[in-house]
């Protein structure tokens, strides 16, 4: 006959990895040998240093906390979570202490029942290995912007951007007392296109390039017998040795320069040890951000921009595959996205008449994920425009909207689809003068309905991308001063931030969509990313910390402002990175925005990472509830 107890255990085990990866017979066999253990609240199951019995555990009901020696909790295991797997993988004592955090029922699995399946099921080994790593405290992906050692990566697939470039070749420099001619001779002798100008202690003061010689000396009226300091650019941007190509490239893009001086401590106060030019970087790679940006700047149509953006997609894919750190990827990609928007505006201005827009003071604002510098895959456009009302210019609003129409059309062609809710600068409601915007904000903040709050969550992540940046700061200042008079608004924003509770128990309660097109898939944006974005925005606004939009950076900034919550904010920043990574990866797999994920498409590693990423959501929401005293409102 069928033994009901064994079946009860079987019905439970079959739902959870690693057992779910096994055939039915195997699970039944394991189930028939299980030890059921009741562990009352606060009871210790095992301690650090104890030799494990030949058992490992799965929580059937209740919860177990794993602690480090200092008492810090490393993991919360609840229904379906496996822990204590050390005896399966190594004969060594426990590294963590396990204690029940409520009355708990454990199913203890005998290792000898399980071991035979290990060798035949590589997936199980992978699952256990990742579980094991989590238990040891390495919760998240490695963050490597430092050079990857060659042995680790496939040589065909090496990510050149991550290699440190040899910046220590003997630098050619000239002294500040040298004449232009002396410097030019040095450059000619060494066949170099630039030369660093140093003081007596070989500290870099300035830099002279071929271009300076051409424009200022040959075509200009400075004589070659004059001092080199007359034509040099100063100061020189200095870096430390050991930066990756990509990091150097970012610095060049940001400063719009082609050369960096390498010094002992990375400042102009120390001795010059090398020079890196953009050319040095370019020869080492093909698809690289700086070349892509150059292509963008040369583009004259949406079609050309689209071709470049497609290449960017390939670059991101390569980054994701190589597990390059997310802050780095988002930084590169948002720089590129910005360039595309800027170029789209330039093309549009040119088409409509450059002279018209020369006189209009305006600023193009990126909203939503692009505003937060988090957009990796192309999603819908969210943008707005703010201009300074000038009665001397007739129909100024129409002119701005006309420009916006052109720009959004180009962006649409590039692959950023039109916003279905029409939150674009081409919409009169999103193309307003400074005064009109202030009036709009006033209305949102003083009469906040559901729609207004939603508008705020989209708009308040704005970032100036083109034009007069001071207009954006004016808006920020206005928003903060209005908050001061209307604290209740922040409470409503807080309420909104709690609308999507953390899907904390991932294995138990995989919250999938119940209806519609995406039935049974997991909405990573709504369920996991939005709660973090909302919390970061709210806490940043409450701290009046303008100017930072990126969710990870917002959390890191908050960690500095509130050192008492340092750990939570850092966990939240890490969690957000993981979510971006998983979403992007799945977006590539399915060729869409990656928002909806089929639970079955996720491997165990991803599930595990996701589950860990949910933890800070719950804690943040609890904190928000207390801080904004939402007990009464909710």
Structure-block tokens of residue 222:
């400075």
Site size for another protein, by CB under 8 A? 23
d(CA 313, CA 309): 6
Q: Which of residues 141-200 bind another protein (CB under 8 A)?
A: none
Positions of E strands within 101-171: 104-110
Q: Nearest approach, Cβ of 104 to another protein (angstroms)?
A: 10
Q: Which of 21, 26, 29, 32 contacts another protein by CB under 8 A?
A: 32
Residue 4 touching another protein (CB under 8 A): yes
Count of beta carbons in the 10 Å neighbourhood of residue 272: 24
Whichever of 83 and 555 has its CB closer to another protein, that residue is 83
Residue 26 touching another protein (CB under 8 A): no
Whichever of 13 and 316 has its CB closer to another protein, that residue is 13
Residue 33 touching another protein (CB under 8 A): yes
Beta bridge partners of residue 587, listed in sequence order = none
Residue 39 touching another protein (CB under 8 A): yes
Residue 37 touching another protein (CB under 8 A): yes
Distances (CA, A) of 36 to 81, 82, 106, 110, 509: 15, 14, 6, 11, 23
The candidate with the shortest Cα–Cα distance to 105, out of 9, 26, 4, is: 9
d(CA 239, CA 275): 9
Residue 36 touching another protein (CB under 8 A): yes
Residue 8 touching another protein (CB under 8 A): yes
Residue 103 touching another protein (CB under 8 A): yes
Residue 5 touching another protein (CB under 8 A): yes
Whichever of 107 and 127 has its CB closer to another protein, that residue is 107
- The 3-state DSSP class for residue 69 equals coil
Q: Contacts by 358-362 with C-beta closer than 8 Å and gap 24+?
A: 359/390, 359/393, 360/387, 360/388, 360/390, 360/393, 360/396, 360/399, 360/400, 361/387, 361/388, 361/390, 361/467, 361/468, 361/471, 362/386, 362/387, 362/388, 362/400, 362/467, 362/468, 362/471
Residue 31 touching another protein (CB under 8 A): yes
Residue 3 touching another protein (CB under 8 A): yes
Whichever of 1 and 283 has its CB closer to another protein, that residue is 1
Distances (CA, A) of 103 to 52, 57, 100: 22, 15, 7
Q: Nearest approach, Cβ of 422 to another protein (angstroms)?
A: 50
Place of tokens 């052109």: 406
Residue 486 touching another protein (CB under 8 A): no
Q: Mark 104-143 with x for binding to another protein (rule: CB under 8 A) and - for no binding.
A: -x--x-----------------------------------
Torsion of CA 454, 457, 459, 460, to 10 degrees: 150
Q: Nearest approach, Cβ of 103 to another protein (angstroms)?
A: 7
d(CA 168, CA 186): 19
Whichever of 42 and 351 has its CB closer to another protein, that residue is 42
**What letters, b where the CB count within 10 A reaches 16 and e where it falls short, cover 164-189?**
ebebeeebbbbeeebbbebbbeebee
The window from 36-44, 416-424, 518-526, 548-556 that contacts another protein (CB under 8 A) reads 36-44
Whichever of 36 and 215 has its CB closer to another protein, that residue is 36
The window from 34-42, 88-96, 421-429, 483-491 that contacts another protein (CB under 8 A) reads 34-42
Residue 11 touching another protein (CB under 8 A): yes
Q: Nearest approach, Cβ of 67 to another protein (angstroms)?
A: 21
Chain mean position to CA 357: 34
Q: Which of 40, 93, 428, 547 contacts another protein by CB under 8 A?
A: 40
Whichever of 11 and 390 has its CB closer to another protein, that residue is 11
In DSSP notation, 367-398 reads: -HHHHTT---S-----EEEEE---TTSTTHHH
The window from 7-15, 205-213, 509-517, 575-583 that contacts another protein (CB under 8 A) reads 7-15
The window from 28-36, 124-132, 184-192, 194-202 that contacts another protein (CB under 8 A) reads 28-36
The window from 26-34, 68-76, 170-178, 560-568 that contacts another protein (CB under 8 A) reads 26-34
Q: Which of residues 62-81 bind another protein (CB under 8 A)?
A: none
- The packing angle between helices 289-298 and 326-352, to 10°, is 10
Q: Nearest approach, Cβ of 62 to another protein (angstroms)?
A: 9
Q: Nearest approach, Cβ of 110 to another protein (angstroms)?
A: 9
Question: Under the rule (CB under 8 A), what is the footprint of another protein?
Answer: 1, 3-9, 11, 31-40, 61, 103, 105, 108
């Amino acid at each position: 006959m069928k033994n009901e107890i064994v079946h009860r255990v079987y019905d439970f085990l079959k739902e959870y990895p690693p057992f779910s990866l096994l055939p039915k017979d195997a699970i039944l066999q394991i189930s028939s040998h299980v030890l059921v253990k009741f562990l009352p609240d606060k009871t210790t199951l095992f301690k650090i240093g104890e030799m494990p019995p030949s058992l490992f555990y799965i929580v059937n009901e209740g919860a177990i906390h794993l602690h480090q020696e200092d008492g810090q909790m490393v993991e919360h295991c609840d229904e379906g979570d496996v822990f204590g797997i050390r005896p399966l993988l190594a004969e060594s004592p426990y590294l963590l202490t396990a204690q029940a955090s409520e009355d708990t029922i454990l199913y203890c699995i005998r290792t000898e029942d399980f071991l035979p399946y290990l060798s035949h099921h590589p997936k199980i080994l992978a699952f256990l290995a990742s579980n094991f790593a989590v238990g040891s405290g390495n919760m998240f992906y490695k963050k490597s912007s430092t050079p990857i050692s060659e042995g680790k990566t496939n040589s065909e697939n090496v990510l050149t951007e991550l290699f440190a470039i040899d910046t220590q070749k003997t630098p050619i420099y000239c002294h500040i007392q040298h004449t232009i001619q002396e410097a030019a001779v040095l450059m000619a002798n060494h066949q170099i296109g630039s030369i660093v100008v140093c003081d007596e202690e070989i500290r870099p003061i300035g830099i002279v390039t071929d271009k300076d010689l051409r424009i200022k000396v040959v075509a200009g009226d400075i004589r070659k017998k004059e001092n080199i300091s007359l034509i040099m650019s100063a100061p020189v941007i200095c870096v430390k040795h050991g930066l990756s190509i990509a990091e150097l490239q970012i610095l060049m893009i940001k400063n719009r320069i082609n050369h960096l001086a390498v010094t002992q401590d990375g400042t102009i106060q120390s001795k010059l040890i090398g020079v890196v030019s953009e050319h040095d970087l370019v020869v080492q790679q093909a698809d690289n951000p700086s070349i892509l940006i150059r292509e963008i700047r040369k583009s004259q149509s949406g079609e050309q921009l689209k071709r470049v953006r497609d290449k960017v997609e390939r670059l991101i894919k390569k980054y994701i595959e190589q597990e390059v750190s997310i802050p780095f990827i988002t930084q590169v990609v948002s720089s590129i996205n910005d360039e595309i928007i800027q170029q789209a505006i330039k093309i549009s201005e040119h088409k409509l008449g450059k002279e018209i827009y020369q006189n209009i003071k305006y600023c193009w604002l990126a909203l939503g994920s692009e505003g937060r510098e988090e957009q990796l895959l192309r999603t819908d456009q969210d943008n707005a425009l703010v201009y300074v009302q000038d009665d001397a210019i007739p129909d100024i609003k129409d002119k701005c909207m006309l420009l916006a129409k052109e720009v959004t059309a180009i962006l649409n062609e590039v692959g950023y689809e039109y916003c279905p809710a029409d939150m674009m600068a081409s919409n009169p409601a999103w193309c307003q003068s400074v005064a009109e915007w202030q009036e709009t904000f006033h209305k949102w903040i003083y009469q906040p309905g559901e729609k207004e709050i939603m508008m705020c969550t989209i708009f308040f992540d704005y970032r100036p991308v083109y034009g007069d940046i001071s207009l954006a700061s004016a808006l920020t200042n206005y928003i903060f001063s209005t908050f001061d008079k209307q604290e209740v608004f922040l409470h409503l924003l807080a309420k909104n931030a709690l609308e999507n509770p953390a899907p904390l128990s991932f294995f138990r309660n995989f919250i999938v969509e119940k209806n519609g097109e995406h039935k049974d898939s997991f909405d990573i944006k709504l369920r996991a990313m939005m709660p973090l974005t909302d919390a970061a925005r709210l806490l940043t606004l409450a701290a009046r910390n303008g100017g930072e939009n990126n969710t990870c950076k917002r959390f890191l900034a908050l960690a500095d402002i509130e050192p008492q919550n340092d750990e939570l904010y850092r966990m939240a920043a890490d969690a957000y990175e993981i979510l971006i990574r998983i979403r992007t990866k799945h977006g590539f797999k399915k060729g869409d925005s990656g928002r909806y994920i089929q639970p079955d498409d996720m491997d165990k590693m991803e599930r595990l990472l996701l589950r860990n990423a949910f933890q800070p959501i719950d804690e943040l929401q609890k904190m928000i509830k207390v801080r904004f005293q939402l007990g009464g409102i909710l």
